[in-house]
Amino acid sequence: MTIYNVTIANRDNAVYEVDARRPLLDSLRDQGVDLPYGCKYGGCITCAAKLTDGQVDQRRQVALNNRQIANGYVILCVARATSDITLEIGVESHGQLYRNPFLDPLKPHELKADLATPKDH
Amino acid sequence: MECCGPGYASPAEAIKAPREKLLYTIAIYTGTGIQKPDYLATVDVDPESPTYSQVIHRLEMPGIGDELHHMGWNACSSCFDDGSMSRKYLILPGVRSNNLHIVDTATDPRAPRLHKVIDGAEIKSKTDLSGPHTVHCLGSEIIISFLGDAKGEAPGGYLHLNKDFEIVGRWENSMGDIKFGYDFWYQPRHNVMVSSEWAAPNTFMPGFDLEEVGHLKYGRELHFWDFEKREPIESMYLGEDGLIPLEVKFHHDPDSTHGFCGAALSSNVIHWWKDDAGKWQWEKIIDVENEPHPEWPIPVPGVMSAILVSMDDKYLYLNNWLHGDMRQYDISDPHNPKLTGQVWMGGLLGKAPEVNGVKMAGGPQMFQLSLDGRRLYVTTSLFSTWDNQFYPEIREQGGVMVMIDCDPENGGMTLNPDFIVNFGNEPGGPARCHEMRYPGGDCTSDIWL
């Protein structure tokens, strides 16, 4: 079993060990970390957290657009650690997650993966 | 007619019902940053009561993360002739969790209690549905629109429950070419159901990306169903006039073929009816203009997320969630509505930042009208992720419920100065309120056979 360390930056840098095969939401909640969640299939964004260091596999998520991914957001209910990682969790980490869509439109490469076009160079 | 079932013999009888004394609304913590379950709040709306205009009971759901949103009764006036039925249970779907909460409101109407939970995972595995929205009873049984399949992809379908809240299966025989689901209403004497379109759960749940409208990820059609055959037979393409067609309402008069839909992003009211040749027709009857805003590069759309028809079919009420106004139109001639009332509360245009001493976050959103048409209760939160985009201050301030006095004789609306429920002061922290129901039935629950 592959184990990685998850550091929660905005919880006094508490460190938890997680199984690389399990979604981070399940592993962390099992260890008593209080995390928001909703759909549990990667579609609703409620459990989003900000990854500030390390890598995850979140290929199953369908909630984030490419700008949110570029800003470091990960969907904990489907994301799995592929290295030691550092997260900011909860609504305090959601500063860049929500934006007024009329004031701050997405560029074509910033849409969700199924709609995005490659960035112009 | 000898009878003792739920509801009323006719809309005219419903109007004469006693005044509502209690009102239920859902209140959410999902998406707010507060790690607590969503709940059903009982609000005292009896002006003679010492706890008038206060939350007097809170029924927490068993889990967190449901996002309660809309709700519906187990039975309505469509069972008026069935003495074995009663309007006892309120069904509260969780849009995100897929759980259906069956709440007993009859044993103690002031303090509803949880009767049963239908697990969201069971619904997914048995019917491949997720993202529940509108609940209508169907005689003694129940159908609920779901906006997605088990993976959150459109168009979803309809869950059929029996009166004991057991899963019968999918209600519809076919979704035809329907791309999206949302609201629906049926008119049995004409064997018709009309359904509307929001988007796939995976599209709308994370928030609103305007660009996805252009990529056809949001709806712009209405669908007419053969209600007995349970399949769609005709679709109306509304185009730019009907972007994101949400709430659909028929006249309460069961003989009428007239109905209405609010197209949220276009901020238009669409009217449909069956013509003399038996053909369904539609037209745009209300067009709310976008409004300039000093800080916006483009004018602000109204975002008409809900509509309601008074029990006498004389008035149509609508909201403009981003502008901040509630409107009343006389629809005595449904082809030619006349604006007869308007009230400002919150919104982005700064017309009414405070109501009855409470600072508003959000704009008029869901509303429920008393059966006699004189009291309109209005709440301010739309959906957690969309709230967070347009009104981020709602996190700290919570939602608000206000009451508007309506004049059904002459038209007109005024904010009631004595009633306000500030969900920002809830004991568990700022909560957000959305849909409302009265124990005796209301203007969006009952259908006559």
Contacts 24+ apart (CB under 8 A), B109-113: B109/B22, B109/B42, B109/B439, B110/B22, B110/B42, B110/B56, B110/B57, B111/B42, B111/B57, B111/B59, B112/B24, B112/B40, B112/B42, B112/B57, B112/B59, B113/B59
Instruction: Confirm whether B443 is domain-assigned.
Output: no
The continuous run of DSSP H or E covering A24 comes out as: helix A24-30
Instruction: Confirm whether B60 is domain-assigned.
Output: yes
Q: Is B390 on the interface with A (CB under 8 A)?
A: yes
The minimal CB distance from A62 to the residues B152, B212, B296 is found for: B152
This model of the complex carries an ipTM of: 0.94
Domain count along chain B: 1
A111 three-state secondary structure: coil
* Chain B CB contacts of A43 below 8 Å: 151-152, 201-202, 205-206
* Chain A CB contacts of B348 below 8 Å: none
Distance of CA A91 to the CA centre of its chain: 12
Which domains are present in chain A? 3-91+99-110 (3.10.20.30)
Interface of B with A in 269-308 (CB under 8 A): 295-298, 300
Query: Residue A61 — φ and ψ, nearest 5°?
Result: -75, 145
Instruction: Confirm whether B218 is domain-assigned.
Output: yes
Q: Is A99 on the interface with B (CB under 8 A)?
A: yes
The minimal CB distance from A39 to the residues B33, B152, B207 is found for: B152
Q: Is A69 on the interface with B (CB under 8 A)?
A: no
Q: What type of residue is B381?
A: S
Determine whether the interchain pair A38/B65 forms a contact, defined as Cβ–Cβ distance below 8 Å: yes
Interface of B with A in 112-151 (CB under 8 A): 130, 150-151
* Chain B CB contacts of A62 below 8 Å: 152, 202
The continuous run of DSSP H or E covering B308 comes out as: strand B307-309
A74-95 pLDDT, tens digit per residue, is 999 999 999 999 999 998 899 9
Q: What is the DSSP string of B379-434?
A: E----HHHHHHH-TTHHHH--EEEEEEE-TTT--EEEEEEEEEEGGG-TTS--EEE
Q: Is B87 on the interface with A (CB under 8 A)?
A: no
Number of Cβ within a 10 Å radius of residue B80: 22
Task: Determine the structural domain holding residue B195 and report its residue range.
Answer: 11-437
CA-CA distance, B26 to B11, in Å (whole number)?
A: 26
**Residue in chain B nearest A99 by alpha carbon:** B389
SS3 letters for B171-219? Answer: CCCCCCCCCCCCCEEEEHHHCEEEECCCECHHHHCCCCCCHHHHCCCEC
Substitution target from A26, A37, A46, A114 for chain B, most B beta carbons within 10 A? A46
Determine whether the interchain pair B202/A34 forms a contact, defined as Cβ–Cβ distance below 8 Å: no
> Would you state the structure tokens that stand for residue A26, as one six-digit string?
């399940």
Per-residue pLDDT of chain B (449 residues; tens, 9 = 90+): 446 789 999 999 999 999 999 999 999 999 999 999 999 999 999 999 999 999 999 999 999 999 999 999 999 999 998 999 999 999 999 999 999 999 999 999 999 999 999 999 999 999 999 999 999 998 889 999 999 999 999 999 999 999 999 999 999 999 999 999 999 999 999 999 999 999 999 999 999 999 999 999 999 999 999 999 999 999 999 999 999 999 999 999 999 999 999 999 999 999 999 999 999 999 999 999 999 999 998 999 999 999 999 999 999 999 999 999 999 999 999 999 999 999 999 999 999 999 999 999 999 999 999 999 999 999 999 999 999 999 999 999 999 999 999 999 999 999 999 999 999 999 999 999 999 999 988 999 999 99
The minimal CB distance from A39 to the residues B96, B215, B217 is found for: B96
**Residue in chain A nearest B99 by alpha carbon:** A39
Instruction: Confirm whether B234 is domain-assigned.
Output: yes
Instruction: Confirm whether B178 is domain-assigned.
Output: yes
Q: Is B31 on the interface with A (CB under 8 A)?
A: yes
- CATH number for B138: 2.130.10.10
Nearest-Cα distance to chain A for B383, in Å, is 12
- Residue B259 pairs with which residues in a beta bridge? B250, B272
Instruction: Confirm whether B307 is domain-assigned.
Output: yes
**Based on the number of CB atoms within 10 Å of its own CB, is A3 exposed (0-12), middle (13-18) or buried (19 or more)?**
exposed
The minimal CB distance from B212 to the residues A36, A45, A115 is found for: A115
- Residue B304 pairs with which residues in a beta bridge? none
Instruction: Confirm whether B449 is domain-assigned.
Output: no
Determine whether the interchain pair B389/A98 forms a contact, defined as Cβ–Cβ distance below 8 Å: yes
The CA-based diameter of chain A, rounded to the nearest angstrom, is 47
Instruction: Confirm whether B69 is domain-assigned.
Output: yes
Substitution target from A11, A33, A44 for chain B, most B beta carbons within 10 A? A44
